[in-house]
Structures are given as structure tokens and as C-alpha cells.
Amino acid sequence: MFKPMRRIQQQLQDQEVDEILEKHTYGVLSLFSEDGYPYGLPLNYVKEGDKLYFHVAKVGHKIDALHHYNKASFCVVDQDQVVPEELTTYYKSVIAFGKISIIEDLETKYSVLDHFIARFNPQLNMQERKEAILPSFDRVELIQFEIEHITGKQAKKFALKQ
């Protein structure tokens, strides 16, 4: 179903793919709009196992797109250094493909929101996180992205060093 990477020598190992996802806090989620146009948007995320989670408003373009088509991709760029004298870019990036859905289970929703706050504001204790979650709990939607395929790729320069 998923094509193998064409330049396999530039593929990142699974451990480095995981490290990149753990290190960063946002990437670009790409969906298909009802009108057939692709729709990419930068979003914060958290990762738990083979799932990524995004918090969004309950209405809008991304929710409409999600209801239209449940397949998506998500890209995180780890490094992007343009090297003019070589006419190239030294890069590392990760792209995931999967299915997206809205989290309906309230316990899961609360747990994921708690994970978001703990990741983005680690100095808050459990009670402070709860106080931050409750006022907006009913106004926010959580999207679950179940990873079906994931790869990482790096510039040829990095691949040659290995």
C-alpha cells in the first residue's frame, strides 16, 4: 500500500524517527477538503505509542475535511539548513500516514489534554492542569491520528556519514 522510499540510503532508522517526534512540538497535518484541495495546517501535537493527537476547535475547515475523508499525513521537519554554495539543503524530516478521527471518549479526551499541558507546561502539577483543562473541555475537539506508516529521511550528506 505504501511505496518504499526511493532513496533508501537516506532513510532514518526507527529510533531517530521517534526521537524527532519526541523532540518537536508541531508539524503540518495534511487533509483533503470537501472540494478536493489538499489542506495543510501547522498544529501542536503529542505522541502516545503509535498515535498522535491534536487539539482543535469544534468547527472549521479541518473538522469539515476530517468528516469528508479520514486519511491524512503529518510532517515534522527536524532540520532545514540551506547551503547556497552547494545548491542544496541539509535536512531531516519525518512523515506519517494514517487515519484520523475525533476522540469521543471523555476519559481519553481528558487524559490527552492532560498530556498536552504536561508536555507544554511541565511545571504545573496535576491539580493545576485540571484547573486549566476544565474551563475549555467542552469547547475543544481532539483529533487522534493513528499511524499506519511512518518514515524519516535525511539529506544525502548525513547519510554518507553513517
Return d(Cα 29, Cα 23) in angstroms, integer.
17
CB-count exposure of residue 119 (10 Å: 0-12, 13-18, 19+) = middle
Per-residue pLDDT at 4: 77
Instruction: Write the CB contacts of 55 (distance below 8 Å, at least 6 apart in sequence).
Output: 44, 112, 113, 116, 140, 141, 142, 143
> Cα 107–109–113 angle (5° rounding)?
120
Average pLDDT over residues 66-95: 91
Q: What is the pLDDT of residues 120-136, one digit of tens each?
A: 999 999 999 999 999 99
Per-residue pLDDT at 83: 86
Closest of 62, 76, 63, 74 to residue 23, by C-alpha: 76
- For helices 126-133 and 106-120, the axis angle rounded to 10 degrees is 120
Q: Work out the mean pLDDT of the chain and round it to a whole number.
A: 92
**Range from 76-80, 105-109, 158-162 carrying the lowest mean pLDDT:** 158-162
Q: What percentage of the chain has pLDDT greater than the value 90?
A: 73
Return d(Cα 107, Cα 68) in angstroms, integer.
26
Average pLDDT over residues 105-122: 95
Q: Is the pLDDT assigned to residue 158 strictly greater than 70?
A: no
Average pLDDT over residues 99-117: 96
Per-residue pLDDT at 159: 61
Instruction: Write the CB contacts of 122 (distance below 8 Å, at least 6 apart in sequence).
Output: none
Place of cell 491524512: 72
DSSP class per residue in 68-125: H--EEEEEEEEEEEEEGGGTEEEEEEEEEEEEEEE---HHHHHHHHHHHHHHH-TT--
Per-residue pLDDT at 17: 95
